[in-house]
Structure 1
Amino acid sequence: MPYSMKVEGDKYAKSFGRDLPISLKDSVNLCRALKGMRLEDAKDYLEDIIKKKRAVPYFRYLDSVSHRRGIGPGRYPVKEAKYILKVLENAEANAEDKDLDTDNLYIMHIAANKGEVYKRYVPRAMGRSVELRRERVHIEVILEERTPEEE
């Protein structure tokens, strides 16, 4: 599966998380909050979400999402934060492999896309069965090395 954004040059590092067992709706909101951040700030932010110290502001899928102080509607998507943190660490390792300066890395592009839906059937009483759907999510990250003058 190709990335949704094409970049050329040696100032970029990419990473892709395929078929992650997380919520698409929470991932979309979390990716929007992370876009444009410095890599170190994004990793600290995700760790704060995992500890439930900071909430993620929700801009979409707001049905029955309660307000948080200072940000409006928001939640603490812990499971999504753990998986996205792994993808960011993988992108950082790819950047180190390309000899990029990890102190000047920014999240240029991050997106959550719908993955495959796995179906299975669970038996029920009286000879019936019901479908169980497991939805998956793809996360793609592109990091960009910026010089201090470009910030």
Structure 2
Amino acid sequence: MASWKYPQLDVDELKIAKAVIRDVPESIRDLYNVCKAIRGMYLNDAKDFLNRVLEEKEALPFWRYNKGASHKSNISAKWKIKAGRYPKKAIRQVLKVLENAEANATNKGLDVDKLIIRHIAAHKGITLQRYMPRAFGRATAKYRRTSNIEVILEEVE
């Protein structure tokens, strides 16, 4: 298995907590917008926001890959964009990696209320190719796309 390298940040290693989840069976299109929305937020605020999106009380803005995304009336004005969706499967995966990073921070002795999401990104993972049988002895390729999610939390004063 290949080694994983986090981005180089100019922060003290004792003040950060890292987590990564690999080969998530989720498209990069939804994960990109989820990661962009919560980047820079406090950890508790980000988890509350994602839970509101899961309950469909607030829509997640889509900056990229938003073709066909309708305008939602419950998008906050701070995003300055109206196109949005409710990517529930992607949000569940991001919440899982955030909880993992929070557990790593607690294990290091960091204060959970002072954690901000310093870095979060989704990258393309491996693509599994399968074949679907069709009529008259033919077959069509079917691709199963995966993604990798990495997060770095930093304790602020």
Q: Please indicate the TM-score interval, normalised by the length of the shorter structure.
A: over 0.9
CA distance in 2, matches of 1:58, 1:125: 38
1:58 and 1:73 in contact (8 A); partners too: yes
Instruction: Tell me whether 1:112 sits opposite 2:116 in the alignment.
Output: no
For normalisation by structure 2, the TM-score amounts to 0.89
Query: Match of 1:15?
Result: 19
Listed as ranges, the gaps of 5+ residues in structure 2 are none
CA distance in 2, matches of 1:10, 1:141: 16
Query: Match of 2:63?
Result: 59
Query: Match of 2:108?
Result: 98
Task: Give the superposed CA RMSD.
Answer: 1.2
Which of 35, 40, 43 aligns to 2:44? It is 40
CA distance in 2, matches of 1:125, 1:24: 31
SS of aligned partner of 2:98: helix
Listed as ranges, the gaps of 5+ residues in structure 1 are none
Which of 119, 130, 143 aligns to 2:140? It is 130
CA distance in 1, matches of 2:66, 2:101: 30
1:3 and 1:140 in contact (8 A); partners too: no
Instruction: Tell me whether 1:74 sits opposite 2:76 in the alignment.
Output: no
Give, in angstroms, the shift of residue 68 of structure 1. Answer: 1.4
SS of aligned partner of 1:68: coil
Give, in angstroms, the shift of residue 12 of structure 1. Answer: 0.3
Q: Deviations over 1:44-66 (max 9, x none)?
A: 11111111111111111121111
CA distance in 2, matches of 1:52, 1:79: 13
Question: How many residue pairs get matched?
Answer: 147
CA distance in 2, matches of 1:3, 1:81: 24
Structure 2 residue identity aligned to 1:77: P
SS of aligned partner of 1:6: coil
CA distance in 2, matches of 1:23, 1:37: 23
Structure 2 residue identity aligned to 1:90: N
Q: Identity, % of aligned pairs? A: 48
